[in-house]
Homo-oligomer: A and B are copies of this chain.
Amino acid sequence: MKLLPDKTVERLSQYRRAMLKTLASGKHHIYSHEIANILHITPVQVRRDIMLIGYTGTLRHGYDVSELIEIIGTIIDSEEGTRVAVVGAGSLGSAIIRYFNGKRTKLSIVAAFDVNPDKLNKLYAGVPCYPFEKIQEIVKQENIQLAVIATPASETAKVAEALVNAGIKGILNYTPSPINVSSQVYLEEYDMVTSLEKVAYFAKHGK
Cα distance A132–B176 in the bound complex, in angstroms: 30
Q: Which residues of B contact A190 (CB under 8 A)?
A: 190, 195
CB contact between A39 and one of B17, B107, B178, B195 (< 8 Å): that residue: B178
Q: Contact between A198 and B188 (Cβ–Cβ < 8 Å)?
A: yes
Cα distance A42–B76 in the bound complex, in angstroms: 30
* A59, CB-defined interface residue at 8 Å: no
- The residue in chain B whose Cβ has the minimal distance to the Cβ of A96 is B192
1/0 per residue A63-97: CB within 8 Å of B?
00000000000011110001010000011101110
Q: Which residues of B contact A186 (CB under 8 A)?
A: 199, 202-203, 206-207
Cα distance A14–B176 in the bound complex, in angstroms: 8
* A40, CB-defined interface residue at 8 Å: yes
Q: Contact between B197 and A145 (Cβ–Cβ < 8 Å)?
A: no
CB within 8 Å for A200 and B107 given contacts A13-B193, A40-B180: yes
Q: Contact between B76 and A192 (Cβ–Cβ < 8 Å)?
A: no
Q: Which residues of B contact A198 (CB under 8 A)?
A: 6, 9-10, 13, 188
* A185, CB-defined interface residue at 8 Å: yes
- The residue in chain B whose Cβ has the minimal distance to the Cβ of A38 is B178
1/0 per residue A3-37: CB within 8 Å of B?
11010011001100110000000000000000000
CB contact between A194 and one of B13, B91, B94 (< 8 Å): that residue: B13
CB contact between A17 and one of B6, B171, B176 (< 8 Å): that residue: B176
Interface residues of A (CB under 8 A from B): 3-4, 6, 9-10, 13-14, 17-18, 38-40, 75-78, 82, 84, 90-92, 94-96, 98-100, 103, 105-107, 145-146, 148, 169-172, 176, 178, 180, 185-186, 188, 190-207
